[in-house]
């Protein structure tokens, strides 16, 4: 093995415990890392077609530990997270040959991870899968925690399951081909984790944020590790999102409504919408007096410094009706028992779930944001 993975985290859950491996050159060395999980089992890699060139490193390495290796390419993009693709993949995998010990490998961003995890969760009533996330967003967020699924024509992620992976391999080398926009989008989820639970991590990010976005590998490994560690702690506490796991939705009630307003047309990325959503959650917190303008300024300055979007106007000119945006926020699945729940910042590194925010105060914020 050329280089060992630098770091490892163990996620211990009721349903399953698994390891996340972080580092460089992981694809080429995946046989060493995965040997204990997959030796001589039949493996089917489902990959994002954009990674065609990288696939040979992964399959070359895995072919050292199994003679039964297949791969299936999936078209890039959110459209592939559909029931049609779910159904196609199921049939394709059965056609290639699958048994209860077969393992699926999800090689791609969050779309592939969510899709393949869902296929694995129902294939022969549930088989194992391994996540090899290839976007920054997927490495720090979607590849851990076990939420899988596809989109419905009525909304995102409405059809799915909880199905934890067997292992996660996070290789920073693969991030080199991502666009700046994709990296910024992933960084938004990193900063989200810090703001939820870790003031010291936030402070560290204010020193190294730009280096992480623009490609310092060592710092990237560190940042991904730290973000995953926060998500790990929260998921361990509440695997099925009955309580504190909702904290991970900081910025997402606004963010999802922004994405939905533009019909997921690809003009803005999830992390960009979340970035603006976090700032709006702070503005809401200011309005209700739960945080201070000093704390908000520190956060806002960091967002601006690293190039994270901070207002709806900066993202798109398509959002011009506050009532429609409010309506979309209420369609979000976090609306239950007639009350919309918000994750409201208190201090840096501390947020709270609140179900007592009046529609008037939210609407007045949206009015200021959209009509300014």
255 touching ligand NAD, by CB under 6 A:
no
The least distance separating ligand NAD from the CB of residue 160, rounded to whole angstroms, comes to: 8
Near ligand NAD by CB under 6 A: residue from 22, 69, 132, 141: 141
Report the C-alpha gap between 156 and 78 in whole angstroms. Answer: 10
Near ligand NAD by CB under 6 A: residue from 103, 138, 279, 351: 138
Q: Which is nearer to ligand NAD, 134 or 341 (CB)?
A: 134
Beta strand 69-74 pairing with 103-108: unpaired
Contact yes or no for 17/11 (Cβ under 8 A): yes
Task: State how far the alpha carbon of 216 is from the alpha carbons of 32, 132, 173, in Å.
Answer: 25, 20, 11
Task: State how far the alpha carbon of 346 is from the alpha carbons of 11, 90, 133, 288, 294, in Å.
Answer: 28, 45, 32, 11, 12
Near ligand NAD by CB under 6 A: residue from 163, 256, 270, 302: 270
Contact yes or no for 164/13 (Cβ under 8 A): yes
The least distance separating ligand NAD from the CB of residue 267, rounded to whole angstroms, comes to: 13
Q: Which is nearer to ligand NAD, 29 or 291 (CB)?
A: 29
DSSP 92-154: HHHHH---TT-EEEEEESHHHHHHHHHHHHHGGG--EEEEEE-SHHIIIIITSS-EEEEEETT
3-class state of residue 69 by DSSP: strand
Near ligand NAD by CB under 6 A: residue from 109, 165, 251, 309: 109
150 touching ligand NAD, by CB under 6 A:
no
User: Which residue is nearest to ligand NAD, using beta carbons?
Assistant: 110
5 touching ligand NAD, by CB under 6 A:
no
Sign of CA dihedral 126, 130, 132, 137: positive
The least distance separating ligand NAD from the CB of residue 75, rounded to whole angstroms, comes to: 9
Q: Determine the size of the site formed for ligand NAD (CB under 6 A).
A: 27
The least distance separating ligand NAD from the CB of residue 346, rounded to whole angstroms, comes to: 24
251 touching ligand NAD, by CB under 6 A:
no
Q: Which is nearer to ligand NAD, 141 or 222 (CB)?
A: 141
Q: Which is nearer to ligand NAD, 23 or 109 (CB)?
A: 109
Strand partners, 8: 21
| Candidate ranges 10-18, 136-144, 222-230, 335-343; the one touching ligand NAD (CB under 6 A) | 136-144
Phi, psi of 21 (to 5 degrees): -110, 135
Near ligand NAD by CB under 6 A: residue from 33, 106, 114, 212: 114
Question: What six digits make up the tokens of 313?
Answer: 């106007």
277 touching ligand NAD, by CB under 6 A:
no
Hey, how many other C-beta atoms are within 10 angstroms of the C-beta on 233?
14
The least distance separating ligand NAD from the CB of residue 251, rounded to whole angstroms, comes to: 12
Any residues with CB less than 8 A from the CB of 56 and at least 6 apart, and which?
Answer: none
Kindly identify the residues of this chain, within the stretch 167-196, that bind ligand NAD according to CB under 6 A.
Answer: 174, 177-178, 182
Report the C-alpha gap between 371 and 223 in whole angstroms. Answer: 36
| Candidate ranges 60-68, 82-90, 107-115, 350-358; the one touching ligand NAD (CB under 6 A) | 107-115
The residue among 371, 338, 331 whose CA lies nearest residue 357 is 338
Q: Which is nearer to ligand NAD, 157 or 216 (CB)?
A: 157
Q: Which is nearer to ligand NAD, 51 or 93 (CB)?
A: 51
Any residues with CB less than 8 A from the CB of 145 and at least 6 apart, and which?
Answer: 164, 231, 235, 245, 248
Q: Which is nearer to ligand NAD, 137 or 285 (CB)?
A: 137
Kindly identify the residues of this chain, within the stretch 28-87, that bind ligand NAD according to CB under 6 A.
Answer: 48, 50, 76-78, 81
Q: Which residues bind ligand NAD (CB under 6 A)?
A: 48, 50, 76-78, 81, 108-112, 114, 134-135, 137-138, 141-142, 145, 147, 156-157, 174, 177-178, 182, 270
């Amino acid at each position: 093995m050329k280089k060992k993975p630098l770091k490892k985290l163990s996620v211990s859950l009721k349903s399953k415990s698994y390891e996340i491996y972080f580092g460089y050159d992981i694809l080429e060395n995946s046989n060493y890392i995965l040997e204990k999980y997959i030796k001589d089992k039949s493996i089917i890699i489902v990959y994002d077609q954009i990674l065609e060139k990288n696939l040979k490193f992964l399959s070359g390495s895995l072919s050292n530990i199994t003679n039964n290796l297949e791969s299936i390419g999936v078209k890039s993009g959110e459209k592939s997270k559909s029931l049609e693709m779910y159904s196609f993949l199921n049939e394709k995998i059965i056609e290639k040959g699958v048994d209860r010990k077969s393992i699926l490998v999800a090689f791609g961003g969050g779309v592939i991870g969510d899709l393949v995890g869902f296929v694995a969760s129902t294939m022969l009533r549930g088989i194992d899968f391994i996540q090899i996330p290839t976007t920054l967003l997927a490495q720090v967020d979607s590849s851990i925690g076990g939420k899988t699924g596809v989109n419905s024509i009525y909304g995102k992620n409405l059809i799915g399951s909880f199905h934890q992976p067997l292992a996660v391999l996070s290789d920073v080398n693969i991030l080199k081909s991502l666009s700046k926009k994709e990296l910024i989008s992933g960084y938004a989820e990193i900063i989200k984790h810090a703001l939820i639970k870790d003031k010291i991590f936030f402070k560290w990010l204010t020193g190294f944020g730009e280096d992480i976005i623009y490609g310092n590998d060592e710092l990237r490994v560190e940042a991904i590790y730290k973000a995953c560690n926060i998500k790990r702690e929260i998921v361990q506490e509440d695997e099925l999102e009955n309580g504190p796991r909702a904290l991970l939705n900081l910025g997402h009630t606004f963010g999802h409504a922004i994405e939905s307003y533009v019909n997921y047309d690809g003009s803005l990325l999830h992390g960009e919408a979340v970035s603006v959503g976090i700032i709006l959650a702070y503005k809401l917190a200011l309005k209700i007096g739960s945080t201070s303008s000093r704390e908000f300024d520190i956060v806002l300055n960091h967002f601006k410094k690293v190039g994270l979007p901070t207002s709806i106007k900066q993202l798109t000119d398509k959002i011009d009706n506050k009532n429609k945006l409010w309506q979309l926020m209420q369609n979000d699945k976090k609306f239950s028992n007639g009350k919309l729940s918000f994750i409201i910042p208190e201090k840096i590194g501390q947020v709270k779930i609140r179900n007592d925010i009046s529609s008037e105060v939210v609407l007045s914020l949206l009015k200021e944001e959209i009509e300014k």
